[in-house]
Amino acid sequence: MPRFYGRGQWDPKLISLQITCMQCSHYLALGVLLAVCHGQHLSLDQFFSYELHAIESVDGIKTSFAHIFTGFASAIFLCYFVERAKKCLDFGVTLYLIDLIICWTYKGFPASWSWWIVHGIALVLTVVLGEYLCSRRELEEIPMLDLFTRRNLNSPRKKSTQMD
């Protein structure tokens, strides 16, 4: 189904639904990756605690790995939920700003430098890869013939191609 990107209009319902979908899919992907990395030993601290991003331990490396690779998944979600390359920066920063606020309310302001590095890398991956994927999707050709005509199965044009 071809998409037309006309003038962007202010639609608060759509924007809030897109933000909600992005947050939910981000934490779902993060949960799956954390479950793959840690197995059954999954806790909310791995989602929101800055103390577990310590690169000195194996568990910290696993947690950081899951957070960084969630950036890849979030870029794909940007491509499906937002669909516009010029909005990827806004939605990516909003995603990680809300994550920062949640982490702040959960355990206090992130004081670990490794937390900032991991989330910074994930943010850059999300925005850059999301813009790339959305721009590729926006540049796809629109099939003009299918947009303006509806072929009848019994049309003479269809029969002439079948006889050849």
The per-residue pLDDT for range 46-64, each reduced to its tens digit, is 888 887 777 778 888 888 8
* The model's pTM: 0.76
Residue 3 within any structural domain of the chain: no
pLDDT for 1: 39
Nearest of 120, 122, 130 to residue 88 by alpha carbon: 130
What is the domain range of residue 16? Answer: 12-163
23 vs 57, which has greater pLDDT?
A: 23
Summarised one tens digit per residue, pLDDT across range 128-146 is 999 999 999 888 776 666 6
Exposure of 7 by Cβ count < 10 A (0-12 exposed, 13-18 middle, 19+ buried)? exposed
For residue 145, being part of any structural domain is answered with yes
- Tell whether 73 is covered by a domain: yes
- Has residue 147 got a pLDDT over 60? no
Q: Is residue 23 part of a domain?
A: yes
| In-domain check, residue 4 | no
Number of domains in the chain: 1
Nearest to 92 by CA among 67, 115, 120: 120
Q: Is residue 5 part of a domain?
A: no
112, part of any domain: yes
The pLDDT assigned to 29 comes to: 95
Q: Is residue 2 part of a domain?
A: no
